[in-house]
Structure 1
Amino acid sequence: MIEHEGIIEKICDNCVTVRILQQSACSTCHAKGICMAGDSKEKLIEVADFSGGFHKNERVIIEGKESTGYKAVLWAFVIPLILIILTLILTLSLWDFSETEAAISAMAALIPYYLILYLFRKKMAKSFQFSIKKWEGRTVDKWEGE
């Protein structure tokens, strides 16, 4: 399971909005102050909750399946990389584009891909479900087992 600690921002009907601090893997490193590679951002996550057992500003744990993380990586990084490589191969070998034209074509091929993802964002959001549970006083924000 992937777990993140967060604070409830608002509750509307059966939807709880939780603010989490998304950190890069190296943000907890002792050298992060001079490295500049680590970063963190606040994110708002909407979670369906029918229990009614939560209140605003309460500390909670957001859980997601590990497979959800893999699916997100596939859609956000792996498929676009494959699309770029295929476009480069097709434009350089089959269509005899120059290297500059092939590079521009490969980048342009991402426009319809991300547009399609944007158009289907609500449908895709249903497959990226999270659950919410009470905070137990422990710190999380990393993959279990690491």
Structure 2
Amino acid sequence: MIEHQGIIANISDKKISVKILQQSACSSCHAKGACMAADSKEKMVDVTDSTGKYKINDLVTIEGKESMGYKAVLWAFVIPVFILVLILILATSVWKWGEMEAAIASILALAPYYLILYLLRHKMANSFKFTIKNFN
């Protein structure tokens, strides 16, 4: 399970917005002050809850299925790399384009992919659901 501690920032109807601190894997390292790789960002995560037992500024733990992380990596990294490589191979081998044209075509081929992801963002958001694990 993916777990994050956060603070409830907003409550509206059945939607609770939880503010979490997303940290990189190396953020707990003792040398992070001297390293440029360590970073952390505040993120807002929406959770559906109709119990009404939470209030703003409550400390909660949210959780999601590990498969959500794998699905996110697939959509964000694996499929775009596959598209890039496929278009590069087709452009250089089948269509006999030069390397520059093939590179530009492979990058431009990602535009429709990201447009489709953008148009389907609300539908995809339904498959990335977090729940409140406990009430601290």
TM-score range with shorter-chain normalisation?
over 0.9
Mapped to 1, the partners of 2:29 and 2:106 lie a distance apart of 36
Give, as a single letter, the amino acid of the residue that structure 2 aligns with 1:13: D
The aligned counterpart of 1:17 is: 17
1:16–1:46 Cα contact (<8 Å) kept? yes
Q: Distance in 1 between the 2:37 and 2:124 partners? A: 30
Q: Deviations over 1:54-100 (max 9, x none)?
A: 00011111100000110011001110011111011111111111111
Rounded to whole Å, the distance in 2 between the matches of 1:27 and 1:106 is 35
2:88 pairs with 1:114: no
Unaligned runs of 5+ in 2: none
Corresponding residue for residue 54 of structure 2: 54
User: Equivalent pairs: percent with the same residue?
Assistant: 62
Q: Give 2:33's aligned residue.
A: 33
**Conservation of the 8 A alpha-carbon contact between 1:59 and 1:134:** no
CA distances 1:35-62 after superposition (whole Å, capped 9, x unpaired): 2012111111110001111000111111
TM-score in terms of structure 1 length: 0.90
User: Which 4+ stretches in 1 moved above 4 angstroms?
Assistant: none
Residue 133 of structure 1: how far off its partner (Å): 3.0
Quote the offset at 1:135 in angstroms.
4.7
Q: Secondary structure at the match of 1:127?
A: coil
SS of 2:126 mapped into structure 1: helix
Q: How does 1:1-146 map to 2 (within 5 A)?
A: 1-136=1-136
What is the aligned residue count? Answer: 136
CA RMSD, 1 decimal: 1.0
**TM norm structure 2:** 0.96
